[in-house]
Amino acid sequence: MTRALAGCLVLLLLAGCQGQGLQPEMGINPRLAQPGDDSSPSLSATGMAWIAPAPNGHQQIRWLDFASGLGAPLPGLNRPDAQPISVGVDRLGQRFALVRSLEGRTELLIYERNLALLRPIPLLPAGVPAKVALSGDGRVLAVQVSREGRWQVEVINLP
């Protein structure tokens, strides 16, 4: 009898641990809901960067600040003649890594949000970057690169 009671108790405790399952984040999702082709989301502790449609019909990188629940400007980052392809962000949401297409070239760049500074990252040997991921501290970049028709992943230490 004691074993049966203990077994029932264990089952009840396990059933209580299952919870509600995965639920959408209702505080954030309505702010993101707009028609278009959003892509390449990257989360930090303070916000989220992603690629979204711009008013001119092109794509742009956007930033949502979790504390305010509002988008924040990214001065010096988005160009009307550039097409972002991939974006990654560090843990603090201050350093962004991105791949974009501009004037027939595909570029790998780092954007410092607090300085509004955008700088290129050279690939040696040369290649075509496609996707990026940035470490939490923003000092290590992983990039998917096409070279001579083959995909490679390159890890780059950043200053």
What is the pTM (predicted TM-score) of this model? 0.78
Per DSSP, what are the bridge partners of residue 63?
Answer: 49
Contact 130, 144 (CB under 8 A): yes
What are the backbone dihedrals phi and psi of residue 19, each rounded to the nearest 5 degrees, phi first? 65, -160
What is the structure's pLDDT at 22? 47
CA atoms within 13 A on the CB side of 108: 23
């009898």: which residue's tokens?
1
What is the structure's pLDDT at 129? 98
- For residues 141 and 154, what is the distance between their CA atoms, to the nearest angstrom? 8
Ordered domains of the chain (ranges, CATH): 36-157 (2.120.10.30)
What would the pLDDT profile of 111-138 be if each residue is shown by its tens digit?
A: 999 999 999 999 999 999 999 999 999 9
Residues of the chain short of pLDDT 50, as ranges, are: 8-9, 11-13, 22-23, 26, 28, 30-31
3 state DSSP class of 13: helix
Q: Closest by alpha carbon to 100, among 45, 61, 135, 133?
A: 61
3 state DSSP class of 22: coil
What is the structure's pLDDT at 39? 82
What is the structure's pLDDT at 57? 81
What is the structure's pLDDT at 21? 57
